Amino acid sequence: MHGQRKNIVICISGLAGSGKSTAARRIAEHYGLKYYSGGDALKAVAVEMGYAAVERGWWETEVGMRFLEERLKNLNLDKRVDEKMLEWAREGNVVLDSWTIPWLLKEGFKIWLDASENVRAQRIAIRDGISVEEALRCMRERESRTREIYWRLYGFRLGEDFEPFHVILDVNNLNKDEVFKALCLIIDNMVLREKASVSS
């Protein structure tokens, strides 16, 4: 089995509240792969800069928004994180939870989790214990700034451009377990089977 496992790189992407981090973590655990998150790597940069970026839902806080402003002023912060993510991807046998890597990495299998704005706002509201209106407002603000960062850095439109993805999975009516099962089916059939036929 180990020969077959040579250099599996799976990238799971999707906007805030789509469940990408939860799914990516579970997939990594299930297949015995390493897990790296672009969001966690960015948070580590924020901590280095003196932000207390620890609690869940930090991105949606006022301080998280302030860090976003800082990223807009200094695009190198994001570049540093993406370089690190690419390094991890090159090591292989990883699941990457990232917004940028699908565009920056030539190889790997890329999945986009698609959920409507309302569904995502409801999930964020439950996760962070805030109202749906508040979740929607923060989400829109964060996404418009994040889109600007990636457009300026790499020239793609987050959440609008799906060119790099092998699969787009509609998760609007799926719970976490159903998303996980669907992803396992996709990976077993489209990633592992392909690897097996290449190595045999």
Q: Where are the domains of the chain?
A: 7-193
pLDDT digits (tens, 9 = 90+) for 166-182: 999 999 999 999 999 99
Backbone angles phi, psi at 176, to 5 degrees: -55, -40
- Over 60: is that where the pLDDT of 1 sits? no
How confident is the model at residue 197, as a pLDDT? Answer: 65
CA distance linking residue 16 with residue 12, whole number of Å:
12
pLDDT at 5 (0 to 100): 52
pLDDT for residue 3 is more than 50: no
* Torsion of Cα atoms, 124 then 127 then 131 then 133, to 10°: 0
Quickly name the fold that domain 7-193 has. Rossmann fold (3.40.50)
- Among the residues of 6-131, which ranges form H helices? 20-31, 38-48, 62-73, 76-91, 101-104, 117-128
Query: What integer is the mean pLDDT of 182-200?
Result: 82
Model pLDDT, residue 2: 44
- Work out the percent of the chain whose per-residue pLDDT is above 90: 74
